Amino acid sequence: MTLALAMVQRAGAQSLAGVVLLPDSATPAAGVIVVATDARGVTARALTGNRGQFTLRLPAAGSYTVTLLRIGFRPTQLPAVIVDATAQISKRFVLANQPISLASVNVRDRETCRVSADTGFMVTRVWEEARKAMLTTQLVAEDAPLDAEWIEYDRAMDSTYRVVKNQRIRTSRSPTTHAFKSRPAAELDSVGYIVSDTSGTTYYAPDADVLLSESFARSHCFHLVEPPRGAANLIGVAFEPTRDRREKYDIQGTLWLDRGSAELETLEFRYTHLPDVVANAEPGGRVEFLRLSDGHWLVSQWSVRMPNVVTRTRGPQIGTGRIAVIAPAAGLSGQVARVSGVQITGGEVTRVTRHDTLVYAATGPAVVVQVTSRDSAVRASTPFMTLDGTDYSAAGNATGLIKIQPVLGGRYRARVSVQLMDSLGMPPIEQDVEARLDARPDTVKLPSSRDVVVAACPRDSLKTGDGMLYGRVRDERSAFVRGAAVTATWPSTDARASRDAYSESTLGALTNDDGYWRICGVPRGLPLALRLVTDSGTDARELRLDDEHAFAAADLVAHRMVADAAGAAAASNGRALVEISVNQWMGPPLSDVTVEITASGRTRRVVTGATGRALIPDVTPGVLTVRARRIGFKQGELAVRVEAGRNTIPILLSNVDMPTLDTVRVVGNNRLVGIRRNDEFEMRRQMHQSTVSFTEDEIKKRNVVDAWQMLTNVPSMRVVDSGKVTIESTRSNVMNPDLSQSKCYMQIMVDGMIIPPMPGDKGLDLRLLPKPNEIHGMEVFAGPASIPPQYGGMGSNKWCGLVAIWTK
């Protein structure tokens, strides 16, 4: 096994290396095809590099005939070379100086249905020059591989073939000169260039391997054609399927060469045997070839044009159809087909490098945009632009000029933004732009400062003359801080406030994941106190929004030293940050709600913004009295406890009942406002919202044995002790189906949960209640209208009343 492997390795190690020189025997010849052929017809090819060097990998030792192919010159036939099985052969070859001129070629030369070197026709001479260029695109010199950057695209055009409905463009970089890869020539020869299956229809374009194949030459006829008008320097060799392939999906087209240099320029082709309905769509393709300065070749552009066909069934089902790339059923009975659009797929090379040396750079169409601003507050410097449906993007310079080149020609939907717009979460400006060969820029105007504020702020958050503050929060290491509370406070007046009350207005916001914050609705011309509160530090500054400016920026830094000082102060007389969140009962957030918070004799006033929220910094911890009012909703007071740090007070407003606390979540490192169920009891007791209530101290003073004994003398209810203890309402009875009336038993709730009676009982046995020493408080709601809505009240319930018990 080891010996066999070694033999295989040696058999595959033969090579022929050397250098090719121009006829002067001194100058290296780059881009020359070196072909070695043995007696069996096995061929090996290589391409010379910049210094004329080449290396041919040969299948075996033996005698090889070497031919040198150079575009614009006759082949150079060299004597046979003997390649030994044990050593690498190195040779020095010199090109013959036998140029080929296509200028005198007569296009009336007869057609041939098989082109080969021994036919002797003029068409063969032209075809062979095209073959050299195509063959060169398939070879890469070992010492100098090319790195090509490509634009690849898919375009969906409308039925007029002019308007781009959808477009997708991507860029890629690959160390190859191959633009695209087709199916093997033998498969295309067998099944054709258009293949349909259940997934759709695929169009195949011929690559160089296909055009150079023996099967392509055997299945097509060739003839010379006159050049198109205005291109007298060209000569074309046209091809079309042989007669026996006229019923297959094949291609016909023309290779265009320069008469003077014999260099290949373009390949144009179209598909054959297609239905007449797609003829106007001109399905086909185009390939452009590029000769680099060092003599190497590559495909610079290619595109394939494919019709989208809609097939519809005649008769009652007309109007329902399906989309297909091609319409194989268009000729069937009962089917009507039409072209709904054209899909174009292609690519263009934009840049070619060899190592770090630029070999080629395309100078195609460009999109040029000049961003301008009519407002000094909205600067047009360093804008950023993207083009829809592509991965094209570019940043502009300090003057607002943006340029993307090269770009696939056509119209694009551009999206332009500046840093200010990005920081405010504003959508980019959208505008149609055009890729042109000239340098005329499209102008994109930025919004005014007032437009910026209107676009960045909710519609109902701004009043006449209001402005906006925005900025970013970082810590001392320049990292963005998420969830930091920023508040803006200014002195305000309210005729309804008492003379002794200190009145101020506050708006606030929390930073997003990128540290950005925005406060809408601040007044202009008043001193503003800006404060930052976060777990990692605090910051504060004062500013004033001028009358002539609609917004101002203020970046804040969470300083740890300030935070440590605040933490030390909090240990003695800690401060609280209070977030107010107001919602309509069973509804959305409420803006323009005036909320007054009174603590230690000091009253502060805030108005909720569009999100129903407001932030109040520097609040004294403890029990606060909160008053909320808004036109159209019932006003009232709440009592709630806050602690040092950040707190949330969620409030529900109703047009039929007093304000209540909503369910709360944890914010920062503090407990939830209202998370302790007894806070609600204390709030309602202070606000006298229940019919009667009993505190833990009152229960101790009565020194009762059972909890139900506290209810014996409460108005509107009666305690009945008859083997079991129940409680009845004295206000109303229950109407039975036979119009008779029966007693109405009150509901019993323990720690927020309704306790149902035992099966068969009409009222709960009160002896099952917690012991008096386990109870924090008791409250009685004598009728359904007085029961809090979160416990089933609001007057629509048929309960006769509720007794709520809160344990410790």
Quick one: how far is CA 310 from the chain centroid? 31
Q: Which CATH superfamily is domain 2-99 in?
A: Immunoglobulins (2.60.40.10)
First-to-last alpha carbon distance for the chain, in angstroms, is 87
Structure tokens at 545: 């929004």
The Cα–Cα gap between 28 and 47 comes to 13
Residue 513 amino acid letter = D
The Cα–Cα gap between 288 and 346 comes to 11
Residue 334 has pLDDT above 60, yes or no: no
What is the architecture, at CATH level 2, of domain 459-675? Sandwich (2.60)
What is the architecture, at CATH level 2, of domain 692-807? Beta Complex (2.170)
- Could you read off the pLDDT of 138-175 as tens digits, one per residue? 776 665 667 888 888 888 877 776 667 777 888 777 76
- Could you read off the pLDDT of 260-294 as tens digits, one per residue? 888 889 999 999 888 877 777 888 999 888 888 77
Q: Which CATH superfamily is domain 363-450 in?
A: Carboxypeptidase-like, regulatory domain (2.60.40.1120)
- Taking only Cα atoms into account, the Rg of the chain, rounded to an integer number of angstroms, comes to 43
Asked whether the whole model's pTM tops 0.85, one would answer no
What percent of the residues of the chain are helix, what percent strand, and what percent coil, each to the nearest 5?
Answer: 15, 45, 45
Are 58 and 64 within 8 A, CB to CB? Answer: yes
Percentage above 90 pLDDT, the chain: 11
Quick one: how far is CA 538 from the chain centroid? 35
Residue 789 has pLDDT above 50, yes or no: yes
Residue for token digits 């105007």? 445
Structure tokens at 444: 């994109």
Task: Provide the Cα torsion 582, 587, 589, 591; round to 10°.
Answer: -90
Q: Where in the chain is the domain with CATH 2.170.130.10?
A: 692-807
Higher pLDDT, 298 or 799: 298
Percentage above 70 pLDDT, the chain: 81
- Could you read off the pLDDT of 422-450 as tens digits, one per residue? 888 888 999 999 888 887 899 999 998 88
Burial class (CB in 10 A: 0-12, 13-18, 19+), 237: buried
The Cα–Cα gap between 206 and 188 comes to 9
- Could you read off the pLDDT of 694-710 as tens digits, one per residue? 999 898 888 888 888 88
The Cα–Cα gap between 71 and 133 comes to 7
Name the least confident of 58-62, 406-410, 501-505, 561-565: 561-565
- Could you read off the pLDDT of 536-569 as tens digits, one per residue? 788 888 888 887 778 888 999 988 754 444 443 3
Q: Where in the chain is the domain with CATH 2.60.40.10?
A: 2-99, 459-675
pLDDT the model gives residue 359:
82
CB hemisphere CA count around 445 (13 angstroms): 6
Q: Which residues contact 517 (CB under 8 A, 6 or more apart)?
A: 470, 471, 472, 473, 484, 486, 509, 510, 511
Closest among 250, 151, 105 to 192, alpha carbons compared: 250
The Cα–Cα gap between 287 and 207 comes to 9
Closest among 649, 593, 163 to 413, alpha carbons compared: 163
Q: Where in the chain is the domain with CATH 2.60.40.1120?
A: 363-450
Angle at 265 between CA 263 and CA 267, to 5 degrees: 130
Q: Which residues contact 368 (CB under 8 A, 6 or more apart)?
A: 401, 402, 403, 436, 439, 440, 441, 442
Structure tokens at 640: 């709630």
Mean pLDDT (the chain) is 78
- Could you read off the pLDDT of 385-403 as tens digits, one per residue? 998 877 789 999 999 999 9
Are 249 and 274 within 8 A, CB to CB? Answer: yes
The Cα–Cα gap between 23 and 238 comes to 33
- Could you read off the pLDDT of 114-141 as tens digits, one per residue? 665 444 467 777 888 888 888 877 776 6
- Could you read off the pLDDT of 456-479 as tens digits, one per residue? 887 666 776 788 899 999 988 888
